[in-house]
């Protein structure tokens, strides 16, 4: 089923997606921060810390690329539903979207959160 968004709806959707993307960045940076704190407290040696930070950044980059690359009007609702399922955004963030789109997003988010 194809869900077409009007130009004004795409603009709202891009804003919502951008908010969730910033939360994904924040989540990744907090993971790296925790590793660096462990390293600064001598709980990890230089090599261990470097490898862990590298793996965290690489993993986050792959995740973010899978979710957000090739973003276009036809993928906005899916991305927003994934963000909602992951708790990056809330249902209040969907304000401004047409009711039909909100219902689609919330139903897909439920499916995503249940793991299909």
HEC profile of the chain = CCCCCCHHHHHHHHHHHHHHHHHHHHHHHHHHHHHHHHHHCCCCCHHHHHHHHHHHHHHHHHHHHHHHCCCCCCCHHHHHHHHHHCCCCCHHHHCCCCHHHHHHHHHHHHHHHCCC
Whether the predicted pLDDT of 116 surpasses 70: no
> Is pTM, for the whole model, over 0.85?
yes
Percent of the chain with pLDDT over 70: 97
- Mean pLDDT calculated for residue range 21-40: 98
Contact 24, 93 (CB under 8 A): no
- Report the chain's mean pLDDT, rounded to a whole number: 95
- Mean pLDDT calculated for residue range 103-108: 96
């Amino acid at each position: 089923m194809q869900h077409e968004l009007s130009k004004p709806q795409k603009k709202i959707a891009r804003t919502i997606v951008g908010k969730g993307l910033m939360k994904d960045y924040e989540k990744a940076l907090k993971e790296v921060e925790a590793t660096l704190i462990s390293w600064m407290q001598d709980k990890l040696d230089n090599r261990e810390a470097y490898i862990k930070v590298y793996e965290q950044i690489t993993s986050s980059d792959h995740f973010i690329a899978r979710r957000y690359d090739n973003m276009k009007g036809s993928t906005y609702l899916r991305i927003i539903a994934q963000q909602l399922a992951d708790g990056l955004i809330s249902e209040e963030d969907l304000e401004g979207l047409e009711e039909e789109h909100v219902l689609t997003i919330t139903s897909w988010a439920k499916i995503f959160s249940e793991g299909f």
